[in-house]
Amino acid sequence: NAGVTQTPKFQVLKTGQSMTLQCAQDMNHNSMYWYRQDPGMGLRLIYYSASEGTTDKGEVPNGYNVSRLNKREFSLRLESAAPSQTSVYFCASSERSSGVTEAFFGQGTRLTVV
């Protein structure tokens, strides 16, 4: 049972380059999320997708775009990377079951923009 899988695990980009972070979940969850975590800080929500076919902005969406490709996959794209986007990126999925909504997180993608 893989849960939430993120690729790649590490990436170094030059300023201005673009890339897509991939996320897939195998739990048949409707809701998926992208967060970033800067050193010593809590997680901040970038974008979320309540269900397949919908996406919405979170706290810090500027500089990012997302695609909910299907129910399993939710990708995050950086069109023109900036050093301020150096961070650890976490993807998560959630579902409400037995009165509890639990989010499951991937292992993260450590991105450095130079």
Partner 1 sequence: LAKTTQPISMDSYEGQEVNITCSHNNIATNDYITWYQQFPSQGPRFIIQGYKTKVTNEVASLFIPADRKSSTLSLPRVSLSDTAVYYCLVGGYFNAGGTSYGKLTFGQGTILTVHP
* Positions in the binding site for partner 1 (CB under 8 A): 4, 30-31, 33, 35, 40-45, 48, 50-51, 54, 58-59, 90, 92, 94-96, 100-108
| Cβ atoms of residues 104 and 94 within 8 Å | yes
| Least distance in angstroms from the C-beta of 96 to partner 1 | 4
Using CA atoms, how far apart are residues 6 and 73, in angstroms rounded to an integer? 10
Both tokens of 36, joined, read 């970033």
| Least distance in angstroms from the C-beta of 85 to partner 1 | 18
52, 85, 96 from 1: Cα distances, Å = 22, 31, 19
Q: Which is nearer to partner 1, 14 or 53 (CB)?
A: 53
Q: Which is nearer to partner 1, 17 or 44 (CB)?
A: 44
